[in-house]
Amino acid sequence: MSTDEPRLDCGRTLEELSDYLESGRSPRDAHIESCPECLNALDTLEGAGRLSRALVAVDASTLPEPPESWFQGILGAIALELRAGRDLPLHHPDPRVDLSITEGAVHALLRTAGDGVDGVFIGRTAIDGDAETPGAPVTVRLTASIAWPLDVAAVSEELRARAFAALRQHTELNVTAVDIRVDDIHGYEGGRS
């Protein structure tokens, strides 16, 4: 294992979590199964695995093999987003109570919202702006890979609506925009119907 491999705040690496998934989550690792960061990472790795299996199922003779950098880029983004990050405040009527949600939890929330759209894999998520100041405007950015031949505009609107709904329900962020960038189309078979 490389010493420069990205680690979650809890100390685990994506390689360790990937190995744990490959073993069928056996033997049970109490830390992984109770750590929110690890559980978010497992969910994301499972989603990446589903996408990889779907791509393999497409006729390999018509598609160039995706570059190793594509998958490594996704894993790098996941590792960065799984860190707890900033504490984003939540209001509570009792001034003695201090509530917050971590930025990492919001990234996981956005990934979950995106996973609810068939044929979509979320690449990166970002919260731009002063999210630590209640009421300050923020913009959320998502990148996605969308299955061929889905309508990019329709899928982007559905992603945007789901992201707004999830953020409204689970955070108090003043989200002024959700920007969607489709940076990949998967499952394209060279123009065959």
Which residue from 127, 129, 132 is spatially nearest to 166, judged by alpha carbons? 127
Residues in Cβ contact with 40 at an 8 Å cutoff, skipping those fewer than 6 apart: 82, 104, 105, 107, 108, 111
pTM: 0.59
Of the given ranges (152-161, 165-174, 178-187), which has the lowest mean pLDDT?
A: 178-187
What per-residue confidence (pLDDT) applies to 141? 94
- CA separation for the pair 88, 128 (Å, rounded): 13
At residue 129 the predicted structure's pLDDT band, cuts being 50, 70 and 90, is very high
14-186 CATH choice from 1.10.1060.10, 3.30.70.1350, 3.30.70.2190, 1.10.10.10: 3.30.70.1350
| 183 phi and psi angles, rounded to 5 deg | -110, 5
Count the residues in the chain.
193
Residue 80 clears pLDDT 70, i.e. is over it:
no
- CA separation for the pair 82, 38 (Å, rounded): 8
**Cis before residue 89, ω within 30 degrees of 0?**
no
Residue 170 clears pLDDT 50, i.e. is over it:
yes
| 3 phi and psi angles, rounded to 5 deg | -75, -15
What per-residue confidence (pLDDT) applies to 192? 43
Q: 87-104, pLDDT tens digit by residue?
A: 777 787 888 877 777 888
Judge residue 63's burial from the number of C-beta atoms within 10 Å of its C-beta, 0-12 exposed, 13-18 middle, 19 or more buried. Answer: middle
Residue 180 exposure: Cα atoms within 13 Å on the Cβ side: 24
Ranges of H-type helices in 121-182: 152-170
Q: 115-125, pLDDT tens digit by residue?
A: 888 888 888 88
What are the domain boundaries of the chain?
Answer: 14-186
Cα dist from 51 to 46, 54, 82, 116, 176, whole Å = 9, 5, 19, 13, 30
What per-residue confidence (pLDDT) applies to 4? 65
Q: 12-70, pLDDT tens digit by residue?
A: 887 888 888 888 888 899 998 888 888 877 877 777 666 555 555 554 445 555 566 66
Q: Across the chain, what does the average pLDDT equal?
A: 78
- Cβ pair 144, 122 in contact under 8 A: yes
At residue 142 the predicted structure's pLDDT band, cuts being 50, 70 and 90, is very high
